[in-house]
A and B are shown apart, each in its own frame.
Chain A
Amino acid sequence: NAGVTQTPKFRVLKTGQSMTLLCAQDMNHEYMYWYRQDPGMGLRLIHYSVGEGTTAKGEVPDGYNVSRLKKQNFLLGLESAAPSQTSVYFCASSWENYNEQFFGPGTRLTVL
Chain B
Amino acid sequence: ELKVEQNPLFLSMQEGKNYTIYCNYSTTSDRLYWYRQDPGKSLESLFVLLSNGAVKQEGRLMASLDTKARLSTLHITAAVHDLSATYFCAVDSGSRLTFGEGTQLTVNP
Contacts and interface: CB of A to CB of B under 8 A. Distances in A.
Contacts of B102: 42
B42 A105 contact: yes
B99 interface: yes
B96 A103 contact: no
A99 B95 contact: yes
A24 B5 CA distance: 31
B108 interface: no
A33 B96 contact: yes
Contacts of A99: 31, 33, 92, 95-97
B1 to A, nearest CB: 9
B33 A100 contact: yes
Nearest to A33: B96
A101 B97 contact: yes
Contacts of B101: 40-42
Interface string B25-45: 000000101000000011111
A12 B44 CA distance: 26
Contacts of A64: none
Interface of A: 31, 33, 40-45, 48, 50, 56, 58, 90, 92, 99-106
